[in-house]
Structure 1
Amino acid sequence: MANPHATATLSLARLHAHLDDAAFGAAARQAAGAYDVTLKRAPAAFSKLLAARAFVESAVQQVVVCGTPGSDDFVALQRLVGTSFAPYRILVHGAADTPGLPRLAGRPKQAAAAVYICEGHTCLAALSDLGEVAAALKIRAR
């Protein structure tokens, strides 16, 4: 059974990655450090907490699919970015300037759906070609 503290820690860290909210980041770091002594004694007993802590301490890649939800090109890009497992990656999907999703804020409205691959506040140029997106994600996979 997953440790509820670990689940909460990972949730806070993912909220920070999605919303870029410093309060969530600080809470995630505090929660990740709360079990330091226990983790040193029995790390195998807290595998989920170790995974959450690794997420908190890692550079998280943000993959943003921006376009018209439901359109063929948007759906194709959604499927592509969702095909590989990357533990230190978050996925954001939606139309440009969707309220409540800061990762979509300021994205230009384009004729075709596009993928932005970012770390922190630095993004590669928008990619719309499936092959280019696949290559970029493979290169940047952890």
Structure 2
Amino acid sequence: MSGPHRLSSVELDAATLPAATAEIEHERRVAIFDLVEKNSFEPVGAEGGPYQLKLSLQDNRLVFDITATEFTRTYAISLTPLKRVVKDYLLICDSYYEALRGSSASQIESVDMGRRGLHNEGAEQLETRLEGKIVVDHETSRRLFTLLCALYRRG
């Protein structure tokens, strides 16, 4: 996506993240690629981007270090309000992958509907947590939630 309010890069602060398997590292890279590929990201008070984002986990907070030409901001949001939906989403993702291995099409569809519902709920909660700090559209919020879940996943 082009335009002044978008992310051009996303970096993870590996020192603050839980240890990850090769599979989880791959999930993180894919989530970053999807986010950078298409997003709408506007820090409040910024004149325009593109923006570089560095994410870290510090004291149960997701920290957004944002830079652009003549703009630098750091925002930290508590993850406590998101903890339940992240945990539920990761559990249903595990159920979904298990269902893919041997369940009927209707069972897979049911689990997938629940997975998508939790994903939307998490994205909405994340968007609410960012209010007054960063304006994102729904699809960007969904991609950020996907990345947050990939950060939480442990090997």
Place the TM-score, normalised by the shorter chain, in its bin: under 0.3
Higher relative contact order (CA 8 A, sep 6+): 2
TM-score, normalization by structure 1: 0.26
Rg comparison, structure with higher value: 1
- Relative to total residues, which structure has the larger strand share, 1 or 2? 2
TM-score, normalization by structure 2: 0.25
